Structure 1
Amino acid sequence: MSPATPPPPPSDLPTTRAALRASGHVHRSVAAEVRDNLLRRMGAGRPRFPGLHGFDATVLPQVERALIAGHDIVLLGERGQGKSRLIRTLAGLLDEWSPAVAGCPVNDHPFAPVCPGCRARAEREGDALPVVWRHREDRYGEKLATPDTGVGELIGDVDPARLAEGRSLGDPETIHYGLVPRANRGVFCVNELPDLPARAQVALFNVLEERDLQIRGYTLRLPLDLLLVASANPEDYTSRGRIVTPLKDRFGAQVRTHYPLALDDELALVRQEAVLPEGTTVPAHLLEAVARFTRLVRASRKVDGRSGVSVRFSVAAAETVAASALRRAALTGEDVPVARVSDLPAVVEPLLGKVEFELEAEGREAEILHVLLRRAVAETFRARLGEADLSPVADRFAGGGSVETGDLVAAAELLRRVGAVPGLAALIESAAPEAEDGPPTQGLAAAVVEFALEGLYLERRLSKDAVPDGGVYRF
């Protein structure tokens, strides 16, 4: 996301058109500016699209080719595939500072003003024309398309106040510019393009092709210079009832996005996006279980694949697991909240609203997610502790003993109930290799022990009896 307040411009930048010309500044189109900066970063091996994972070999090469070609782009993908994040990174390919005519509503370049007001000022003031500098973050605009979005909001409308001043209806000075012309010489994004009303979609025709504006029967020749990027759901975009077909032809490039193809990319996104309470730890094996859970839900035949399962699903799950650990710490007096397997079931109910199920699953939605969650934990157990020697843990129950655990059992109490676990350090290294140097905390040790118990149960080497808020492991 763009910062709320861009930094102030350096004090040594030119403030008049004469000084700008003397500085050697060269006027470039937005397409040329983006292309030059993109190629420069590619040549230097610098990141071009920070914060994105899993698109390097699929989506990003297509986007780079479109930008190099100077094309407007439409990104097609289901919800939560990172379309908006990708679009917002495009502002980073603009020059850090760009000159504009001071007071211009459409950010005209001092060397090539296009709006009638600035052309008149340029003739009148000449090289004394004042110049302001805009940060790249100020040159990014975004609109979430909704059915009530009007042409006036997007393109512009006649300003009645200026008509009241005595100007004629055909005077260009009576026009109040909308969001698109105000994004001139920058990047503008229309999110969920098919949700635009047909009239607003038609209004974009001339902007994309002829680069002029048509407002209430008045055509204003305004050669806008901008990169227009849109996002859309594939099903809506390919339906002739949701998108005006000629508009699709105006976009130079269409790029399909996708959910993370690899588990590592899913994990990287969870770690990047999840905002966990300060001081709360969600060990690596639990984050992996959350990521696997998301992927299993996404692949399930009982889930409507057309609506998708957003990355926000896994992010919300990780945050809920951390919240459950913090709740336990507050109720039991634990010093360091560490999430455990017993915190995972708490994610199911809150996440139901993020999944669209097929009709055959009606009434069994929570049950389906619980089954998939257990599968995710089992897969994670096999990946992290499948080769570990857990016979000492299983032998603990051979004599008929049992251990009760749950989301309100403190770490110290769980470790006391289990007793000494030979080889615990090696188990922690396998399950949570990112743990800090030094002896593991009680919370981390309890998290790994509980993970081992649940894995043994899922592998049918232990049994488990359900009790309120937890379970009892026995042989």
Structure 2
Amino acid sequence: MKYKEISAKQLLQIKTLGELKATGYQPRSIKQELRDNLIEKLKNKEEVFPGIWGYEETVIPDVERALLSMHHINLLGLRGQAKTRIARMMVNLLDEYIPVVKGSELNDDPLQPLSRYAVDLIDEHGDHTPISWMHRSDRYTEKLATPDVSVADLIGDADPIKAATLKLPYSDERVIHFGLIPRSHRGIFVINELPDLQARIQVSLFNILQEGDIQIRGFKIRLPLDIQFVFTANPEDYTNRGSIVTPLKDRIDSQIVTHYPKSIEIGKKITRQEAIVKDEQAKKIQINELISDLIEQIAIEARKSEYVDAKSGVSARLTISAYENLMSSAERRTLINGENTTYIRVGDLWGVIPAITGKVELVYEGEQEGPVIVAQNLLGKAIRTQFLQYFPDPEKLKKQQKTKGENPYRKITDWFGEGHTIDLLNDLSNKDYKAALNGVKGLRELIDQYHSKQDEATKFFMMEFALHGLAEYSMLSKNQLTAGLQFKDLLSSMFSGPGSFGDDDDEDSGDSKNNRYRR
């Protein structure tokens, strides 16, 4: 039976070099292996990188072209753009098992031995040389570039302990302790954040990339290593911490630029795929598309915010963590109130602030305002942007000077203008939450006018969303309370804020900041 026709189970039963030769096995470089298997997948219309969304017409075709060209690859992009995930998924393009000389630390091919150990073993045992089988999952090595990485870590060095144990002189190559790269022979080797690697260490990669060999101290040793290199780099690193030295950059055949999701729909696919939501959470909590859109909109607003460092980027991990926090906010409320189910609320977005503050790099102006205030600003802008997808533009209504009967928000603003307020606390029970929203005159009519076909749970969500939207367009005042939010008339809040002659309720202290950011 020919080698290519043998099943994985039958391969594992082959134990000697002679048995391997009888199958007609022929060595194949890892780049040729990746190319052949990619060709097979493309011909069979198989998905090469499943679960990678938004790159179908950009990054993935570039990666496939690079692999077909048998290139070393550098994935260049901001954080959270699935660079490492793409590299890890290349393992699926490798053969399931490959033969290696048993006991070899360099994964020697039995028909093309590389190390002194493998050569000596084959010379001694011939066709009886024992072989083992290496699974593709073991052919992937990943190293994060840090300033303390040394040439010895990556390439290798003379090991005095090995020399003493084996009673060998330093001139004998058997005293060499090989580093990560030689041990990745016949595999994929990934260096993450390449610019962080010191320039003198990057230089040590020149020969490996171009000539396929290594140099260790004074040893005259040539090891034609067979490795598929994949590098990842962040453009920010080029100026902040280091750069890829020009000769090394020249030896990396293909540089592929990654990007963030180009639409909210793609962002939602990524978030839902990656977010960890427990079964008990999914059963208890009803979620709608609008809240998912708002989560993605936060990241979009952050990427264009004047307070966030655009060069650093805003990772997709922000929306993933935010989604998880959102579900946990609702779950916590059900536990506190002893309820079996609940539906997500707009106010739950304030529970995602911890997921935002640690994932955005602020510029000087942002640092001056503080991460929490910037996060609140991003939430407000996300609501403001999405509001126009569901309700008429309040600013256009103002400009058109609509009459009382034609302004859909008039009853709501007039009700608040009469001195009414509404407190939407984080832990309100479902019953109290509904009662509070139903108490706002004109609010239910607004939802019935524009979203009459929605189910009851979504209608209450839209009622709350309308209040938030009107606050963002300065038609109402939204104040941060210790345990939630308060909505009231905008004009009255100006006279009841800190330092005014109105009431001295410290719960209004956040209003001046909220209004300032909305403008």
Q: Structure 2 length as normaliser, TM-score?
A: 0.80
Task: Give the drift of 1:224.
Answer: 0.8
Going from structure 1 to structure 2, the CA distance change for 1:413 and 1:67 (only over 3 Å counts) comes to: same
Moved more, 208-217 or 356-365: 356-365
- Aligned residue in 2 for 1:3: none
- Aligned residue in 2 for 1:242: 243
Going from structure 1 to structure 2, the CA distance change for 1:295 and 1:429 (only over 3 Å counts) comes to: farther
Whole-angstrom distance in 2 between the partners of 1:241 and 1:265: 32
Task: Give the drift of 1:384.
Answer: 4.7
Corresponding residue SS for 1:34: helix
Q: CA-to-partner distance for each residue in 1:14-54, whole Å, 9 max, x for gaps?
A: 22222222233332110111011111111222111122121
- Aligned residue in 2 for 1:469: 483
Whole-angstrom distance in 2 between the partners of 1:392 and 1:236: 51
Whole-angstrom distance in 2 between the partners of 1:428 and 1:410: 24
**Which letter maps to 2:373?**
E
**Which letter maps to 2:359?**
K
Specify which of 415, 436, 444 is matched with residue 417 of structure 1: 436
**Alignment map for 1:74-93 (pairs within 5 Å):** 74-93=74-93
**Which letter maps to 2:468?**
E
CA contact (8 A) 2:205 2:248 kept: yes
Q: Is the counterpart of residue 374 in structure 1 residue 387 in structure 2? A: no
Corresponding residue SS for 2:381: helix
**Which letter maps to 1:295?**
I
Gaps of 5+ in 2: 1-7, 394-406, 490-519
**Which letter maps to 1:323?**
S
User: Rg: which structure is higher?
Assistant: 2
Q: Is the counterpart of residue 216 in structure 1 residue 242 in structure 2? A: no
- Aligned residue in 2 for 1:436: none
- Aligned residue in 1 for 2:300: 295
**Which letter maps to 2:313?**
G
Larger relative contact order (Cα-Cα within 8 Å, sequence gap ≥ 6): 1
**Which letter maps to 2:183?**
R
Q: CA-to-partner distance for each residue in 1:190-211, whole Å, 9 max, x for gaps?
A: 0011212233212211111111
- Aligned residue in 2 for 1:406: 425
**Which letter maps to 1:377?**
I
CA contact (8 A) 1:145 1:196 kept: yes
Going from structure 1 to structure 2, the CA distance change for 1:269 and 1:241 (only over 3 Å counts) comes to: closer
Corresponding residue SS for 2:47: coil
Going from structure 1 to structure 2, the CA distance change for 1:364 and 1:349 (only over 3 Å counts) comes to: farther
Whole-angstrom distance in 2 between the partners of 1:208 and 1:425: 66
Q: CA-to-partner distance for each residue in 1:80-124, whole Å, 9 max, x for gaps?
A: 111111111111111122221111101111121111211121222
Going from structure 1 to structure 2, the CA distance change for 1:334 and 1:185 (only over 3 Å counts) comes to: same
Moved more, 463-472 or 194-203: 463-472
**Which letter maps to 1:413?**
D
Task: Give the drift of 1:244.
Answer: 2.7
Whole-angstrom distance in 2 between the partners of 1:428 and 1:93: 51
Q: Is the counterpart of residue 97 in structure 1 residue 97 in structure 2? A: yes
Moved more, 420-429 or 311-320: 420-429
Going from structure 1 to structure 2, the CA distance change for 1:186 and 1:111 (only over 3 Å counts) comes to: same
Task: Give the drift of 1:393.
Answer: 9.7
CA contact (8 A) 1:405 1:414 kept: yes
**Alignment map for 1:322-361 (pairs within 5 Å):** 322-361=327-366
- Aligned residue in 1 for 2:398: none
Moved more, 397-406 or 116-125: 397-406
- Aligned residue in 2 for 1:284: 289
**Alignment map for 1:42-441 (pairs within 5 Å):** 42-164=42-164, 165-237=166-238, 242-280=243-281, 281=285, 282-365=287-370, 366-384=372-390, 403-419=422-438, 427=451
**Which letter maps to 2:27?**
H
Whole-angstrom distance in 1 between the partners of 2:450 and 2:241: 59
Task: Give the drift of 1:348.
Answer: 2.6
- Aligned residue in 1 for 2:26: 26
Specify which of 451, 461, 469 is matched with residue 455 of structure 1: 469
CA contact (8 A) 1:462 1:473 kept: yes
**Which letter maps to 1:63?**
V
Q: CA-to-partner distance for each residue in 1:398-427, whole Å, 9 max, x for gaps?
A: 666654322111223212333495777994
- Aligned residue in 2 for 1:5: none
Whole-angstrom distance in 1 between the partners of 2:452 and 2:199: 58
Going from structure 1 to structure 2, the CA distance change for 1:450 and 1:357 (only over 3 Å counts) comes to: same
Going from structure 1 to structure 2, the CA distance change for 1:211 and 1:393 (only over 3 Å counts) comes to: same
Corresponding residue SS for 2:353: helix
Q: What is the alpha-carbon root mean square deviation over aligned residues? A: 2.9
Corresponding residue SS for 1:409: coil
Whole-angstrom distance in 1 between the partners of 2:205 and 2:356: 37
Task: Give the drift of 1:77.
Answer: 1.2
Task: Give the drift of 1:305.
Answer: 1.1
**Alignment map for 1:10-21 (pairs within 5 Å):** 10=9, 13=12, 14-21=14-21
Whole-angstrom distance in 2 between the partners of 1:458 and 1:339: 20
**Which letter maps to 1:190?**
I
Paired residues in the alignment total 455
**Which letter maps to 1:310?**
S
CA contact (8 A) 2:72 2:228 kept: yes
Moved more, 245-254 or 182-191: 245-254
Corresponding residue SS for 1:374: helix
Going from structure 1 to structure 2, the CA distance change for 1:398 and 1:305 (only over 3 Å counts) comes to: closer
CA contact (8 A) 2:101 2:131 kept: yes
Going from structure 1 to structure 2, the CA distance change for 1:18 and 1:297 (only over 3 Å counts) comes to: same
Whole-angstrom distance in 2 between the partners of 1:240 and 1:317: 29
**Percent identity of paired positions between Structure 1 and Structure 2:** 39
Gaps of 5+ in 1: 1-8, 431-438
**Which letter maps to 2:269?**
A
Task: Give the drift of 1:345.
Answer: 1.9
Corresponding residue SS for 2:142: strand
Whole-angstrom distance in 2 between the partners of 1:452 and 1:374: 13
